[in-house]
Each structure stands twice: as structure tokens, then as C-alpha cells.
Amino acid sequence: MASKPFVESILQLINTFFIICGLWTLGYGIICLLKWKQNPLKDPIPNSNNAKLMIVHRLLLSVELSKPSFDLLPKAWFIYLLIVIGGILLIISCSGFVGIASRTPSCLLFYCEFLALLVIVELGSAVFIFFAHNWEKVIPKDTSGRFISVYGFMNVHWSVLRWIGLGVFVLQVIAMLLALYLRSVFKKDHDNNDDNERIVHLSRVRPSNNNYRIHEIPIVPKPNIQQAIRPHN
């Protein structure tokens, strides 16, 4: 099939972009975690763009949350969330590369399932933020201050970042569709190869008609009973 190498190249290119995003997110989370471990009680210095946002956010977070489940979260939960997101992106991208290189339908199915789960989580988060206008009150307090800085950066550059986020979402959907297509193609190839191997195996086991040899059975004459019992003179 002529389109299969092209689809593989496009999917590998998308996975490369996912790996870059995963490495950047994971590296940023690890750097923030190391800085927070060194100075856990110091808040980041606000800049002129998000100083008002930090004040408003701290006023919102000063209200005690009634949900006891938030007490189980670590203080720097946003940093750990960044590390988890980066690790998940790396796992998804690596499974896609392995599935393409080994032409294994199971790896591509694993890749599609994780992408579908990620798309569902992103859609759920977007719908929650869009309809719940007071979602800042639900967010637990992040003592590291990274959530405030990241949210302030996104709020300032939202006109550009929203299109980038939409592009990443579309790439995830395209990657999932391409992976499903390649999985169906690879599965057909595996089934055809299994059928060919089965035919070759049967042809080796079953002998051909030319290999049959007719063995002549010697005919032994029947003894004459009367001659056998006739007395000799």
C-alpha cells in the first residue's frame, strides 16, 4: 500500500512533537521541584503583568476549603502535576514509536487508548473551566507559586496560547486516527503472513503425489495340500 509509508512518517513527526512537549514539561516540573525544595517557604517574585492576578488569587485561596480531599494533596501539587503530565506524554509517544517500528497492532492500540483518554480529560477540563466561572475557588492552594506564575503567563498571552492549545488538541485527534488506520493495516498484514506461513508449513508436511512410491509385494504361491500329504515312495 503506497499511502502506508506516508502515514507512518506523519505519525512519527507528530510523536516527535509530543516527545518534545513531554520533555519540556517534565524538565520544567523537575526544575521547579528542585527550586521549591531549596526554598519551600519563599514565593516567586511577581512581575508587573501578573501582580494583580497573584493578589486576587491569594485572596480567593485564603478561604478555607470545605472538601477534606484537598488536604491529602501535597503543597506543591501543581509541580507534581507537571511532572506527571510530562511523563504521560513521553509514555504515549514512546508507545507510538514502538508500534510503528515493530508494526505491532497491540502497541498502536495502547497508543490510541491513551490518546483517547487524554483527549477526554482535556475536553472535560475545558468544559469545566468554560461553564464554572468560579473555578479558581475550587483549585487547592499551591504554596510553590508556580500555578500563579503559569496562570498569569497564560492569561497575558491567551490570544496566542488558545490557538496553540487548539492545534495540539487537533494533532492528538489526527494522531489517534492515523494510529487506528495503521493498526488495521498492520493487522491485515499479520493475518496474511500467518496464512502464508500456514500454507507453507502444510506444503512441507504433506508429501506430493510424486513422492509416493509403489512397493511391489512379492506373491507367494499357495502350497498344494495334496502334494504335501502324499507319501513319498
- Encode pLDDT of 144-200 as tens digits: 677 777 778 777 877 888 888 889 899 999 999 999 999 888 888 776 655 555 565
Cβ atoms of 79 and 27 within 8 Å: the answer is: no
pLDDT score of 71: 53
pLDDT score of 199: 61
CA–CA dist 180, 174 (Å, integer): 10
The Cα-based distances of 216 to 45, 153, 163, 211 in angstroms read 104, 96, 87, 16
pLDDT score of 232: 52
Give mean pLDDT, residues 82-98.
90
The Cα-based distances of 119 to 87, 166, 177, 212 in angstroms read 16, 11, 12, 64
Q: Look at 24 and 57; give whichever has higher pLDDT.
A: 24
pLDDT score of 112: 92
pLDDT at residue 66 tops 50: no
User: How many C-beta atoms surround the C-beta of residue 210 within 10 A?
Assistant: 6
Q: Cα 18 vs. chain centroid, distance in angstroms? A: 11
Cell 491485515, residue located: 188
Q: Residue 59: pLDDT band by 50, 70, 90 thresholds? A: very low
CA–CA dist 121, 85 (Å, integer): 12
Q: Where are the alpha helices (DSSP H) in 39-104?
A: 51-61, 77-102
pLDDT score of 230: 55
Of all residues in the chain, what percent are helix, strand and coil, respectively (each to 5)?
75, 0, 25
Cβ atoms of 112 and 183 within 8 Å: the answer is: yes
| 109-122: pLDDT as tens digits | 999 999 999 999 88
